[in-house]
Structure 1
């Protein structure tokens, strides 16, 4: 109760005692109070009690209806988490976004979520039916935006939770859900082997312009994804320490001339070599078994040449995977010319990996649980393809450590494919050298 009101009541009580001494005596003498009956009080001729209670009632009413004084609250700071609330996101995405110039709008969206607003809405539209089935309490577009901000900025679950005023466990749960959907539901649509005639023709023709070699349909490479931490109960954590000295898991990709991945594999810990990872992949098994058959065949010096991929010396030489003759240009002129052309083709996949890690910075320091790391990596590859297909501006390329590793040995079970690949490589080298020498 207000302090000034208490003072008023005290003064009124004092005044009432002076006007009606009987009441004062009653209040001060316990015996008198006990013997007084209600009738004696009601028959008192003094007006003081009535005056006192009337004024007290009026003052009490004023006191309870008067609004307390309060200092004006400062306006919310732009750095507070309110700017990441659902309301703020909705205002930006539905009320303001289309009033902005498209370049400014998309630049702002890329800075927050790694891709332009039209590509963002494409991702949301494709994931919304699956997110709706999860009974998530957050709107689908808000949940996707939150996960994309984490992937593109490389933020931890705790940082995102603080920014969006959510619990860290909920951020992790939503991240796992969205990356799982990207890596499963959207993977078949956006990561596909160039089996169609038109796409295969475009791919091989573009690689021929880059390398002067016929029928290349892709370039393969391996990269290490650094792990922020490992579970303390792993039985053998050393298998995650790679040749560069940090802990990682491996990502194997095959890219086309547009730096779009058409195969992705995440199976090996960091200590494994590239060849072992390749042999454990579904792509290798499909190629060995003949499950993948490209119909496009070109004739080179009487040799039928089917589409093949190119890689560095860390991969085995096979009929469907051609590698350099040497890693330090110690071959004859025809072989060195072939190696130079092949490495130009391989540079495409190196740039694709650099763009992938530059665009989705969580891949520079993977701060999700080990069990969810593979799906997070594949999800980033799907998003990378979406950006490349939409011709999003390419970010600064992430620089990989220098290549290291020994020349891959050939398994006994691969001898047939090795002998065929060795013969094919020499034919292509002689043909390339002859063509270039005659110009």
Structure 2
């Protein structure tokens, strides 16, 4: 067997072990409507199968076909590579079914770099990942009554998600399909992504993967047992909802709550609040909150810090309540003691991971910059984009330019969130735990300076 193929398969198995090494029963939850819902299933081989297909397709295309054809063409015609690239760019303007079919029939004869650059430009991800994603979704497509082929349906939706929002009539005309069919196809594909694929690609870490996340965050922040960072980000709506418009803020938006790890991969997302809501209320209304406070998740790897037993926790800014499972800064303007300010700076480094992840999400799936779907379909569209984001991050797709939301660029000092009566025990323990960790961090930093 080709040594490069063996190396590829070895790297693939390492990637699967990093994503879900224990293959144990994992929990995952998300919300895409006014009422919360959870998805739970046993860990499956689906992610491994996904990346096996993607990697083999990529290997075949880039290591076998392109190299052989390029080697031959270099001996006979030095302009072949240019011709192949030209073929790629000439097909980018034809987004109809006939144009898509014409491109698909020649896809493996194209130079792999030009092919994947074109595919990312048109659909937000490379062709091998597109093909594997199609294999995941095809059984569900075949049970639908869409009058267009599954691969074209997926291409149409990915094209809509990865480009700046346009009017539905313009998008439909671009693909030569009726506007009603465009809406139906978008709704079906995003619903499948947000439900059927969510359990495979958005997973709360546990076991060995949780330890890997904790160790990576410790390298990043110097804080023990950080398992993720939480962030609330508004997703702007293209039009103001007619029902209770004041609840959606100015400009109108819905609120995305996301938790990410050090690799900018989301392990929980929730969309169930209008943009005028605050992060604390959104969290308290989510399934994640109840799973955190009941110790249903993140139960492994308890450590001791100055006599305090510390289970894995997440970090957030001051817009979230201080809890034993969610640590927030002492202040938002560095007015604490030196130990507290050092702790806050370390916490900020952890929070940057999820802020970066959200910037990548909106940079790659640009429909989220000004969402132009009906309000009833907005949550599932956002969650679908989060699933696609994770697929791209895990597959190693090139990261796009970060999107900076103007509403989030300047954040005034945040007031401290008051604990609810039911949270007071979590708050008091979190308060003493935070101070112990700040003192411990300062002591370790002083020891390093004294060496």
1:280 to 270, 281, 285: 285
CA distance in 2, matches of 1:203, 1:310: 13
1:94-243 maps to which residues of 2 (within 5 A)? 95-156=105-166, 157-195=168-206, 197-232=207-242, 234=243, 236-241=244-249
CA RMSD, Structure 1 to Structure 2 (Å):
1.6
Cα offset for 1:231?
A: 4.2
Q: What are the superposed Cα offsets for residues 378-406 of structure 1, whole Å, 9 maximum, x if unpaired?
A: 00000000000011111000013223443
- Paired with 1:420 and 1:300, the residues of 2 have a C-alpha distance of 13
- Matched with 2:431 is 422
Number of residue pairs aligned between Structure 1 and Structure 2: 355
**Bigger radius of gyration:** 1
Shift of 1:154: 2.9
* Structure with greater contact order relative to length (CA < 8 Å, sep ≥ 6): 2
Q: Deviation at 1:237?
A: 1.0
Take 1:366 and 1:208, find their aligned partners in 2: how far apart are those partners?
36
Whether 2:78 is the aligned partner of 1:83: answer no
Matches within 5 A, 1:2-401: 83-93=94-104, 95-156=105-166, 157-195=168-206, 197-232=207-242, 234=243, 236-241=244-249, 245-400=250-405, 401=408
Encode CA deviations 1:124-178: one digit per residue, 9 max, x unaligned.
Answer: 1111100110122111010000000000003332222010111111100100000
Matched, 1:433 2:438: no
Could you report, residue by residue, the CA deviation over 1:332-354 in whole angstroms, capped at 9, with x for unpaired residues?
A: 11111100101000000010000
TM-score by length of 2: 0.77
**1:285 Cα shift?**
1.1
Q: Deviations over 1:79-129 (max 9, x none)?
A: 999822223212212x32212222221111000000111111121111110
Aligned 8 A contact 1:153 1:361 in 2: yes
CA distance in 1 between counterparts of 2:310 and 2:292 reads: 15
Give ranges in structure 2 of 5+ residues lacking alignment.
1-88
Structure-1 separation of matches of 2:337 and 2:278: 28
CA deviation after TM superposition for structure 1 residue 364, in Å = 0.4
Counterpart Cα distance in 2 of 1:82 and 1:305: 56
Question: 1:409 & 1:91 partners in 2: Cα distance?
Answer: 60
Query: Does the 8 A contact of 2:257 with 2:269 survive in 1?
Result: yes
Q: Secondary structure at the match of 2:361?
A: helix
Paired with 2:92 and 2:128, the residues of 1 have a C-alpha distance of: 25
Q: Please list every run of 5 or more consecutive structure 1 residues that lacks an aligned counterpart in the other structure.
A: 1-77
Q: Deviations over 1:162-213 (max 9, x none)?
A: 1011111110010000000000000011001002x11011100000000000
